[in-house]
Chains A and B, each alone.
Chain A
Amino acid sequence: MDTLRADIRLPLRRFALELALEVGAETVALVGPSGAGKSSALRAIAGLARAEGTVVLGAERWLDTAAGLAVPPERRSVGLVFQDYALFPHLSVRANVAFGGHGRVDELLERFRIGHLAAARPGTLSGGERQRVALARALARDPRVLLLDEPLAALDAHTKATVRAELGELLDELRLPTVLVTHEFEDAAALAARVGVLVDGRVRQVGRPEDLVAAPADPFVASFTGANLLPGTARSSAGGLTEVALDGGGTVFSADPGSGRVGLAVHPWEISVGREQPDDSAVNHVTAPVRSLVVVGNRVRVRVGPLAAEVTAASVERLELAVGDVVVATFKATAARLVPLGR
C-alpha cells in the first residue's frame, strides 16, 4: 500500500490553508468548525482546487508546483465521497456506480446492498442508501486513496450510528490511505486512528483521539473534543451492562453493547462531583484528586483524574472544592456511551 504525502498551501477567502499530511494504510481525520478549510484540503488532494506544494502517492507525483507539475483530477487515483454525495440525478444507481469503472459494478451493488435499487434514480433514495451508492461509485474505480467529505453529515441521528459502524468496518477492510473530514469529533474518534484539528486553515494538533481529549494542546481543541474519551477493553457483564476495563485503571459500566477495544465517551455535564460516594442509581464512581478547576461562564470544569466534569459554580462553592482534594466523580451507565476506537 502506498503512502499519501501532501504538503500544500491553498489561498482561501479569509486565510490560506496550510497542511502537511502523511497517510499510510490508515484513516486520518481532519476535524474543525465549518469554514476551517477541511473540504478545500480534500479538493486540493484530489486536484479539484489549485494548491501550491506537493502531493505524492508512493512514487507517483500528483502535484509539484516547483516543477510545474499538476496532474488533473481524472488521472489521480482518488475516490472522493462528497458531502451531499453528488450523485448524478439523471443516471440510475447502476449507471452512477458504473460511471467511474465498469469492472466490479455488480459486486459493488451487492457489497453495499443496493442491488435492488440498481434501476432507481438517486432522487428516490434515502440518505443512508445515497451514502452507500456514493461509496460504491467512488470505489468502482479501484482508487488508491479514499477521501471522505463529511460522509455522515447528511444523515439523520437515527441512521447515523448504524452507517458509522458500517463505514468503520469498510475502512478496516479496505486499508487504503483515507482522509476523512468531519465537524464532529465523535465521528472522527470512531473512524480514525489519528485526528488533526484544523482551525482557520492551520492544524492545531494531531494525535490519537484519546490523546487529544486527555491532553489538548490549546483551549480550542479542548472545547472541540467535548466529551471525555477513555480507551479500554469491553466485555458484557451481568445485568445487561457492558463492563469496561479502562487502560488507565479502574472499571466502569456502560448501557451500550460492545466488546473488545472501545472508547468510553462521557460528556462532562453528565458527571457529578461529590465529597463522598452518593447512594443513588449511578453505578460509576471514580475517586481521584482534583487536578484543575477552570471557570467557563457560570460553570466550572473540574478535572478529576482522567475525567473532566462540568458543575455549577454554586456547587463548587458549596463543596469548597480545591485542587488536590480527593473527590468522587459519578456518572450513570446510560451516560457512558461506547464508540469503537479507530485503529
Chain B
Amino acid sequence: MSIGSERRRARFAVWGLLLVSVGGVYTVQQARDRHTARLGEMSEVLYIPSGRVLRYLSLGQEGLMADLYWTRVVQYFGRKRLAQAVRFDLLGPLLSIATELDPHLLVAYRYGAVFLAEKLPDGAGQPEAALQLLRRGIVANPDEWRMWVDLGFIYYWDLKDYASAVRVFRAGSERPGAKMWVRTLTASVAAKGGELETSRLLWSEIYRNADNDQIRHSAQEHLVALTAQEEISGLNDVLDAYARQFGQRARSLSDLLGAGYLRVVPQDPSGVAYVVGADGRTRLAPESKVDLKLLQ
C-alpha cells in the first residue's frame, strides 16, 4: 500500500472520529440537560440583574464570589454596629447578591436575617426584608428546618404575629431532621398567642410521640395548664353572666352554686378548687399544683 493511500485512509479515519464525536457530544449534552434542567435554574437567577452581572464576572467561580460577598456583609454590618449607625442601606442588597450567587449559603440567610431584623441600633430594623431573605432561602433549601424556625422567630419576636409564627414553626417542625424542641416551641407560641386549641393539639401530639420521659412530663404539664386555662376562661364567662343577672359580681364560686349556675365547685386538674380573686375573676388557689406560667 502506498504512503499516499495510507494517509488518505488515516484522514478518513480522523474525519470519521470527528463526526462521531460531534454526534456524541450533542447526545451527551442533551442527556445531561435532561437531568439537570439547567435552563430552569438559570432563568430564576437571571431575574435579578446584580447577581447576574456578578456571576458573569466570576467566570464560573460564583461560589467564591458568594463567599466574598458574605464576608463583605459581615464586615459592613460589624462596622455599622460599631459606629452605632442608623442606616444599613447596603445590607439587604449585599445579602441578596451573596445568596443569588450561592443559593445554598445557609449562613447568609440565617445570620443575614438576624442582622436585618434586629431593632436599631443592634440591627437594621428591617424585619420585612429579613422575611423576604428567609423565604428565598427556604425556596432554595426547602428541607432546611432551621430556616423555618428563623422565619418563625422573626414573626414571633419582631412582628409579634403569633399566628404566622405558629404556622411557620409548625411547617419547620415537619421538615426532615427537625428537632423535637421545634414542636414544643410551636405549642408554646400557640398558647401565648391565645390559640389554645392549636396548642392543645400540638402538646397532645408531643406527648404521644415524645422519645423521653422528660419531654412527656413537660407535655403533660402543659396540657394540664391548658385545661386549667380553658376552665378559668369558662368560669369567667359564668361570673360575667352572674354579674349581668344580679348587678354585682360574685365574691366566691359558692355564690354561683347558690344561684344555680354551677352544680359543684369546680376543681382544677390538680384537684384543688378554683377561687374568685379580689378583681372578681377566677384564679387558681395558692395550693394548686397547676403552673399557668408555662403558657406565658
B is bound to A: no
